[in-house]
Structure 1
């Protein structure tokens, strides 16, 4: 079974309360740590990689993002999905070629740019082109940014998700969705839902019971590691 087939299978037939958990490596050493811990797949966070490269979230040049993803992929044997933001303005063919060139088996593609939601039908048409070029070689996770862009109506997220699923998305990521609307989203979205695990929030089991079939962490793990390193540095300074 190929890596993309393994990755796709991880999203299928998940029992309630048992989502697939995908840690977010930001470099080769963190990827190896997560693999050694036994996780079956990984999902790079664009914000975590941006921080590791010295950029603000959303400001990483495309070339540097793809290079960083490639380093993560070649450092581990498990499948890796890549957060490539809104696709960096690349045409579908080039985007797919560059993703496959990194060795990634999946991607997150968001429907906003600089905090502004894109036209949902235009974005769906673009996703359909991406999927047509990629075929089954990439697992497409469509991020829905309505909640993070200030639209709290879950029906808007469901409407966008339906367009993206029709375009070929195999998973939908309604980032920033409040916990209390997750069951409604699960009822209205016909593919697995990716849920972001917030610090001090619901447990993985609770997220799975609410809606999640996939849980990711964005830059949370990278930030935790940075805080731990800062604490160690302070203790060393004061020794």
Structure 2
């Protein structure tokens, strides 16, 4: 039985009340539906995975393309969808508010706003500008009904500015600006994660886990983390398998298909009883 947008949003908000859950990141409708079949309770889009599937680098898709992608992902599954909305697709708070209003209309249960600029010379917005952008996003969500969660992201560690004190100050400011959940992708150690959790408590924290992490879900739960996402890791894993098989094929070999999923399994997943 399909759930309404309101039901998806309410279910997603409830997940943030206690415990720790995994929020995997599919890149298209098919990968979203497979994750739903495994019993995950929510999914999040990945800007990088979506961009790569369209032959683009991360952060190079247009707002129109991203909105169409969000509509597709929401329609593909009964799960709540958390949108990776990059830096809000606006040069100023007013434009961010306009873009967020359009994103909310796609039916997503949550969306994240980064404080990254895309400028290598000045990769982060000044904190006061970043706060104004979050406040604009908060206002747009509230005017649309207020049931979509807002995630504030401090991108310090992603852009190479590994200043934990500045990261914590930004996250605290974003929490005060109305972010429902806080996120500092790139932090790795238990000490860094615990510092973030404590800095923004009682608001929930998302942690990004990729390759080479020794932390388990139980470890993260013990640190007080509420949700765990994987960013582009699933998409990169799929690309890795595809690239290895294609490279073997280019060399005249067919041994790259040994771990391929069966057509029957995929048809059964996507075709129901057909």
TM-score by length of 2: 0.80
Matches within 5 A, 1:142-181: 142-179=152-189, 180-181=191-192
TM-fit CA distance, 1:233: 4.1
Whether contact under 8 Å (1:197, 1:204) holds in the other structure is no
Aligned partner (choices 197, 212, 222) of residue 209 of structure 1 = 222
Mean alpha-carbon deviation: is it higher for 186-195 or for 149-158?
149-158
Counterpart for residue 238 of structure 1: 253
Cα distance between partner residues in 1 of 2:101 and 2:136: 13
TM-fit CA distance, 1:163: 1.0
Cα distance between partner residues in 2 of 1:12 and 1:121: 29
1:79 aligns with 2:86: no
Aligned partner (choices 1, 9, 12) of residue 4 of structure 1 = 9
Cα distance between partner residues in 2 of 1:20 and 1:37: 14
Aligned partner (choices 129, 135, 154) of residue 128 of structure 1 = 135
Q: May I ask how many residue pairs the two structures share in their alignment? A: 235
Structure with the larger strand share = 1
Cα distance per residue 1:74-99 (max 9 Å; x no partner): 11011101101001116244223211
Pick 1 or 2: higher relative contact order, CA cutoff 8 A, min separation 6: 1
Structure 2 SS opposite 1:89: coil
Counterpart for residue 97 of structure 1: 101
Counterpart for residue 54 of structure 1: 55
Cα distance between partner residues in 2 of 1:9 and 1:64: 30
Aligned partner (choices 183, 191, 195) of residue 184 of structure 1 = 195
Cα distance between partner residues in 1 of 2:160 and 2:248: 41
Cα distance between partner residues in 2 of 1:178 and 1:39: 24
Counterpart for residue 197 of structure 1: 209
Cα distance between partner residues in 1 of 2:129 and 2:248: 52
Unmatched 5+ stretches in structure 2:
1-5, 255-274
TM-score by length of 1: 0.92
Cα distance per residue 1:125-174 (max 9 Å; x no partner): 22112112212231011110122233323221111111111111011111
Cα distance between partner residues in 2 of 1:227 and 1:126: 36
TM-fit CA distance, 1:212: 2.0
Cα distance per residue 1:30-83 (max 9 Å; x no partner): 000011111111000111111111110111111111111211111101110110
Unmatched 5+ stretches in structure 1:
none
Whether contact under 8 Å (1:109, 1:142) holds in the other structure is yes
Counterpart for residue 30 of structure 1: 31
Cα distance between partner residues in 1 of 2:245 and 2:159: 36
Cα distance between partner residues in 1 of 2:80 and 2:106: 12
Whether contact under 8 Å (2:113, 2:152) holds in the other structure is yes
Cα distance between partner residues in 1 of 2:10 and 2:57: 33
CA RMSD of aligned residues (A): 1.7
